[in-house]
Structure 1
Amino acid sequence: MRVLHIISSPRHDGASVTATSSLIDALRERHPDLDVDTLDVWHEDLPEFDERVIRAKYKWVDGDDLDDAESRAWTKIESLARRFREADRIVLGVPMWNWSIPYKLKQLIDLAAQRNLLFTYDGVHFGPAVDVARADVVFVRGQYYGEDGPTPGSIFDHQVAFVEFFLRTIGVRDVRSLIIDRTWDPAAAEAIADGVARARELAASD
């Protein structure tokens, strides 16, 4: 089984990386031949989505020739999308930044999620361009976003719905999410330990 492990936190000792790494370890215990492709958005060479890339995108869509700089940029975008398509399972850790996702993760999505690479569009309907059986997503937040709290998720949470929507839209058939809340609280260590234990349980579920 090939797993795409996406790291979106710059802190490798942070809760999201700790939990997803434990999940990967648990998967490896079940699948000794596990093939893990680690995509760390902070160390990956992600091109800027600038004018050059936009020109390359529309030339590629129209079937026009790309110049050398455009071709190099588009080749990188194709390689990023290929890593999604080649995965049997995606493991993704997402810390909450300003009620949403880290900007480097958004950059990866903006680069890789191109028409006919990760999704299709016929002028009316969007469809998937990949076939990934499952994604396990660990969402980490400093405080509590339940509807019974002072920061209800229906207002403040722009993290979970976007990531789940993206994964399902490109073709992930089963998206399972785990939320670790209150990582700023005095009892943060216990919250993270509980999240790591639940991540290992998630790896064991079919």
Structure 2
Amino acid sequence: MNILVVKSNNRPDGVSSKMYDTFMDTIKEENHLDVAVYDVFKEDMPYFGQDYFNALIKLQSGEKLSEIEQRILDAKQKAKDLFAAADLVVFAFPLWNLTIPAKLQTFIDYIDEAGYTFKYSENGTPVYLMPDKKIIFLNARGGDYSLPEMQKMEHAVNYMRDIFVGMFGMNVTDEIIIEGHNAMPDKAEEIIKNGNRKVAETARKLMQKV
């Protein structure tokens, strides 16, 4: 099994960073898993914007690309190659300011491409091009966004579901969410411990499937 782990938190003590560590530590002795890591805070990832579209125009006309244009094409291609090669993609990410980190958004911008992850039918509806790819979410959020009054404010896991299930038609096989540790500091240690136990269980299940 080819696994891509997308690490999306550069805080060493961040809870989603610890979830990433737990996952990687659990599978590190499994020789039958081919694991690649894409750390969005360590990769060269120019933000998606006009530089990318300028590069496409220049490629068509044969013009020389600027440094930033070449960088964004190279970064986009690397993300696409790693994503395409993976049978399973694991995303470890926090909820920051009600949404995902900007660097993770850039990774999604790189792979959200017509003709790659999806295409349009004659009626304009999306057709899934990678429906067999499996996805796992490892998410941490300090508040309790499972509460009915908080659910509509959560734009991290909900957004990721909309992209990978709704737009790409992929199968989210597991979601491990650690939440409420900031809102309930007296229970934080127990909440984080139980969440990481579930992360380890999910990783062990993968090892058993090989």
Please name the residue that 1:163 is paired with: 160
Task: Give the whole-Å Cα distance in 2 for the aligned partners of 1:118 and 1:64.
Answer: 26
User: Which residue in the other structure is 2:195 paired with?
Assistant: 195
Q: Is the 8 A contact 1:164 1:175 kept in 2?
A: no
* Separation (CA, whole Å) in 2 of partners of 1:28 and 1:128: 32
SS in 1 for 2:161: helix
Q: Which residue of the partner structure matches residue 183 of structure 1? A: 181
Identity %: 26
- 1:36 to partner: Cα distance: 1.5
1:45 corresponds in structure 2 to 44
Tell me the secondary structure at the aligned position of residue 48 of structure 1.
coil
Query: Does the aligned pair in 1 maintain the 2:90–2:137 contact within 8 Å?
Result: yes
Aligned to 1:146: 146
Deviations 1:46-94 (A, max 9, x none): 023232212334677xx66564334553233122111111001111112
Q: Distance in 2 between matches of 1:41 and 1:76?
A: 11
Q: In structure 2, the residue corresponding to 1:137 is in which secondary structure?
A: strand
Question: Gapped runs of 5+ residues in structure 2?
Answer: none
SS in 1 for 2:163: helix
Equivalent residues in 2 for 1:118-129 (5 A)?
118-122=117-121, 124-129=124-129
Deviation of 1:158 (Å) = 1.2
Given the superposition, is the C-alpha separation of residues 64 and 170 from structure 1 closer, same or farther in structure 2, using an over 3 Å criterion?
A: farther
* 2:58–2:64 Cα contact (<8 Å) kept: no
Contact 1:78 1:117 in 2 (8 A): no
In structure 2, the CA distance between the partners of 1:88 and 1:28, relative to structure 1 (3 Å rule), is farther
Please state how far the C-alpha of 1:199 moved relative to its aligned partner. 0.8
Mapped contact 2:9–2:16 kept (Cα < 8 A)? yes
TM-score if structure 1 supplies the norm length? 0.84
One-letter amino acid of the structure 2 residue matched with residue 157 of structure 1:
E
Q: Distance in 2 between matches of 1:8 and 1:160?
A: 13
Relative to structure 1, the CA distance from residue 12 to residue 171 in structure 2 (aligned partners, 3 Å threshold; closer, same or farther) is: farther
- In structure 2, what residue type is equivalent to 1:194? N
Conserved 8 A contact 1:140-1:181? yes
Letter of the 2:138 partner, please give it: V
CA contact (8 A) 2:92 2:137 kept: yes
CA distance in 2 between counterparts of 1:85 and 1:110 reads: 15
Quote how far apart the aligned CAs of 1:165 are: 2.0
Between stretches 68-77 and 162-171, larger displacement belongs to 68-77
Q: Alignment partner of 1:120: what SS?
A: strand
TM-score by length of 2: 0.83
Question: Pairwise CA RMSD of aligned residues?
Answer: 2.4
Gap regions ≥5 residues in structure 1 = none
Q: For residue 104 of structure 1, what is the aligned residue in structure 2?
A: 103
